[in-house]
Amino acid sequence: MESEDIVRQYNEMVSELHPENPLGIAQTRNVTFVVTDSCNLQCKYCYETHKGKRFMSLDTAKRIVDYLFEMYDEDDPNGFINKNTTALVLEFIGGEPLLAADLIYDTCDYFWRKAIERKHIWAEYFRISITSNGVCYFDPSVQRFLERFGSRLSFSVTVDGDKEMHDSCRVHADGSGSWEEANKALLDYTERFDRYLGTKVTISPENLPHFHKTVQYFAERGYTEINANPIYEHEWTVEEAKEYYRQLKQIADYMLDDDKHIYETNIFQEFSFRPQSEHELSTYCGGSGQMLSFDVDGKAYPCIRYMEMSLNGEQKPVVIGDCFNGIYKEHEHQRLRDEMASIDRRTMSDDECFYCSIGTGCGCCTAWCYQKYGTMNKRDKNICWMHRARSLANVYYWNKLYRMTGEEKRFKMFLPMEQALQIVDIKEYEELQRLSL
């Protein structure tokens, strides 16, 4: 599960338990610790293109924890954390985070003990979030951590589908695949901790031809949530969009024929792929001031995507302070905060994007925009053709489903004909039109 999903779900739970907190004030905050920039895999689609061999020290990790409590005590109404922050998600990322399992253990132990000693609300309301490649899952240090913090943990092992799809991208330095290790780790964790099964698949040019297999693979193994997104960094072509549509249509047929539409997925979204209201200005990206990340040295960033290991020298890292002196204390950091706060869908979009006929549901990474253009305030269009292909697949899926279930409503096709016909032929287009009537 993605960290933003964990925050959303945990925030909903805390809101129910603490209704006295004013509506609209964030109760749950996600804080990311980059415990190492080292990794034991070389995944082809990874945006962390400038990894190293560094590890966070325990002293730095403890100082970050101390600073989180200091922010709470300062109770700055505009601060990232204040008295309204009734819950925390401590997210540990790499590289591969489980390479630093002992550090994660000691950091969580320090945080929990400190919260208990202070009789702080976080002693009860905190979660730990880790996503791993599973390679070192069975190491004693990892098992020690799971035994101690398993009840507090939102943990996932990245599996991209069956062996062919997974090993097309997620490889060791010698080029060998990692599916066997990841799958073994995932099976052990879900069996021992009885967790719900969900996954997020990253779609890249390498694994796109295998994509339709992924839903069947996960559905047959009892997964209840299956999400997938194309990478932002690749400039997707019309030819790749044609293949994406073919893959999505096969997924739709599988879900409909086997009655798998009960599964949650972002592949088919009933209320997306239509024009957005001019009043809908959210960028749907937390990387412009709604998140907080610390690197191995304790420097603070709006998101790990703004660190050197991600930017790879193409842009200057976006530092907003550190755990020793605080965040947004210096003039330049305050300027960055104000700049990020001013960004919305209108400011970063040209007219083509802002008035897009299928704009609803189209994602954006402000940090990738910064890496490519040198500014967070300019929306990139690399995924346009993939979004268009997905909009057509949604017309196919939802209207087939509505007809199967006897519903009278229809999923309207908003994509202009001239763009649709670059992805599907006229016969397919006319069939989509017929389904939507």
Distance CA 266, CA 263 (A): 10
**Rg of the chain (C-alpha set):** 22
What are the residues whose beta carbons fall under 8 Å from the beta carbon of 242, sequence distance 6 or more? 389, 423, 424
Q: What is the DSSP letter of 99?
A: G
Pinpoint the alpha helices (H) of 118-195: 140-149, 163-167, 179-193
3-state class (DSSP) for residue 196: coil
pLDDT on residue 261: 52
Contacts of 184 (CB under 8 A, 6+ apart): 134, 137, 138
| Residue found under tokens 């415990």 | 35
Task: Please report the pLDDT score of residue 124 as a whole number.
Answer: 94
- Would you give the end-to-end CA distance of the chain in angstroms? 37
Write the class of the CATH domain 1-195+284-342: alpha beta
Do the beta carbons of residue 340 and residue 318 sit within 8 Å? no
pTM, rounded to two decimals: 0.89
**Alpha-carbon gap, residue 331 to 328, rounded angstroms:** 8
Predicted local distance difference test score (pLDDT) of residue 257: 85
Interacting residues of 182 by C-beta distance below 8 A, sequence separation 6+: 133, 134, 135, 157, 158, 159, 166, 170
Q: What is the pLDDT of residue 24?
A: 44
10 Å CB burial of residue 274 (0-12, 13-18, 19+) is: middle
Domain with CATH 3.20.20.70 in the chain: 1-195+284-342
292-294 and 299-301 as β-strands: parallel, antiparallel, unpaired?
A: antiparallel
pLDDT per residue rounded down to tens, the chain (437 residues): 455 555 555 455 554 555 555 444 458 999 999 999 999 999 999 999 889 999 999 999 999 999 999 999 999 988 999 999 999 999 999 999 999 999 999 999 999 999 999 999 999 999 999 999 999 999 999 999 999 999 999 998 998 888 998 999 999 999 999 999 999 998 899 888 866 667 778 899 999 998 988 878 888 888 878 889 999 999 999 999 999 999 999 999 998 886 655 567 889 999 999 999 999 998 878 877 788 999 999 999 999 999 999 998 999 999 999 999 999 999 999 999 999 999 999 999 999 999 999 999 998 999 999 999 999 999 999 999 999 999 999 999 999 999 999 999 999 999 999 999 999 999 999 999 999 99
SS3 259: coil
Structure-block tokens of residue 303 = 């998101």
